[in-house]
Structure 1
Amino acid sequence: MAVQKQTYKIVLVGDGGTGKTTFIKKILDGIFITEYNATCGADVSLVNFSTNYGIDLTFEVWDTAGQELKSKLSDAYYIGAHAAMIFYDVTSSITYTNFPHWQRRIVDVCFGETQIPIILCGNKVDCSNRKVKEKMIARTLKSGNLMYTEISAKTNYNFEMPFLALARKLTGKDDLTFVSNLNLKPADLPIDPKSVEDSNKFMQELAAVSENINLQDDEDFL
């Protein structure tokens, strides 16, 4: 049976300094199809995955190339996007506070008859001074119909999770897995086991807080 190929445009946004470019440039075999597109202010690269369904996925990942520091990105950056990753720095509350700005831009330009999937990525979990609390994220996820994951671009921790979450949404296959690993640059530093433990604990607490919020909302409705 012939391999099915699917291509999706993914916009990568978030405040400057949240690790977006570090994240995407970690892929050694990524194909950079434009070093810089001055029209819409973006670096674009192709990231490929093979899956257990015999589907080869290609993500066209559009990185802001630092333009978020200079001016509002043009609509051309967002038009035609199938999904989005929004990065924030778990050690910087302001980068999380600014998250709604990026979400609104995606919604304003990209949402037509259907909503495109969006995943919120908490980067820099290798750092210990976390500033953003579980309840803040839980409220955001509930109000925005979002997915959430935590990563460390420097250590390559959970690197494929944003791609995997979006791939499952875009294909409609909840049990889809990647059967080929990305060829990544070596980690800048090893992930501290304590950081992994703390991130896992945070995700568990986030799930519990989210459940409590859902129960409270149900009670308010009743």
Structure 2
Amino acid sequence: MGCSVSKPEDTFGPASAQVRISQGVGSNAPASSALGSTGAERASLESKVVLLGDSGVGKSSLALRFCQGRFSPYHEVTIGAAFLQQIVRLKDGSQLKLHIWDTGGQERFRAMAPLYYRDAWGAVIVYDCSHAPTWESVKFWVGELQAKGRPNCCMAIAANKCDTQDWQVDSKEAREYCESNDFIFVECSAKTGENVGRLFELLANKVYQQMLKGDPR
């Protein structure tokens, strides 16, 4: 999914309050996460979530699958960051509207990443389970978030392309790493849609609980 450079301040960035009240739900939403007409009439909290990871791991595809329920095998490299949004129904019946910032994964865009993640309540760090070097980058992004992101930012690690036959990253190692750091871990596929809704729903519920505790800053 290609896009032009977007500034996080334009829609839901650092200069804006991070807990808001809104109405409605985006169109073309997948049934697993979207709300019906009754839910659309209810107000919901809002939260910023950022997607991080190397170029080519499928960040844009995951966001597109979750927000619009579709997959495109061909898309341009994300320049800077792209913005999408989706409403999730939480376990207690309330709603959380996610403002999702999909960041460019190429090396030259890494310096821009703090503009998007420093005030995010949640982050999805994506790696390609068929390409081992992308797993090593997960730890880089974890360190960046812990050093420069919001205190107690909720993190989810997404092992994308789980539909592949050529796995190069050991699932047990990845799962144990996430468990030891209290991160959400989900093996998913933007191509088939497997576990994509679950990934964002687990993160949304964790973010919501963190928001109820208040901003630690």
Same fold (TM over 0.5): yes
| Structure 2 residue corresponding to 1:71, chosen from 106, 109, 114 | 109
- The TM-score normalised by the length of structure 2 is 0.66
1: distance between equivalents of 2:190 and 2:131? 16
Q: Give the share of equivalent positions with the same residue, in percent.
A: 25
**8 Å Cα contact 1:3-1:54 kept in structure 2:** no
Q: Please give the residue correspondences for 1:24-63 in structure 2 after superposition, counting only pairs within 5 Å.
A: 24-26=63-65, 27-28=67-68, 41-51=80-90, 53-63=92-102
Helix, strand or coil: the match of 2:110? coil
1: distance between equivalents of 2:44 and 2:141? 30
- In the alignment, structure 1 segments of 5+ residues that lack a partner are 31-36, 174-222
2: distance between equivalents of 1:62 and 1:122? 18
Aligned pairs, how many?
161
CA offsets 1:142-182 (integer angstroms, 9 cap, x no match): 44321100111001111211111112212339xxxxxxxxx
Q: What RMSD in Å do the two structures reach over aligned CA positions?
A: 2.5
**8 Å Cα contact 2:188-2:195 kept in structure 1:** yes
Question: Quick check: 1:97 aligned with 2:160?
Answer: no
- The TM-score normalised by the length of structure 1 is 0.65
Q: Please give the residue correspondences for 1:1-222 in structure 2 after superposition, counting only pairs within 5 Å.
A: 3-26=42-65, 27-28=67-68, 41-51=80-90, 53-64=92-103, 66-74=104-112, 75-112=114-151, 115-172=152-209
CA offsets 1:72-111 (integer angstroms, 9 cap, x no match): 2332111210010000011111100111111111111114
1: distance between equivalents of 2:193 and 2:53? 19
1: distance between equivalents of 2:131 and 2:193? 20
2: distance between equivalents of 1:170 and 1:98? 23
2: distance between equivalents of 1:172 and 1:25? 25
2: distance between equivalents of 1:51 and 1:146? 19
Q: Which residue of the partner structure matches residue 189 of structure 1?
A: none
CA offsets 1:50-91 (integer angstroms, 9 cap, x no match): 345342211010001x35342323321112100100000111
2: distance between equivalents of 1:150 and 1:105? 23
Structure showing greater radius of gyration is: 1
Residue type of the partner of 1:80? Answer: D
Q: 1:4, CA displacement in angstroms?
A: 4.3
In structure 2, the CA distance between the partners of 1:135 and 1:20, relative to structure 1 (3 Å rule), is same
2: distance between equivalents of 1:78 and 1:10? 8
- In the alignment, structure 2 segments of 5+ residues that lack a partner are 1-40, 71-77, 211-217
Moved over 6 A (4+): none
In structure 2, the CA distance between the partners of 1:68 and 1:107, relative to structure 1 (3 Å rule), is farther
**8 Å Cα contact 1:4-1:54 kept in structure 2:** no
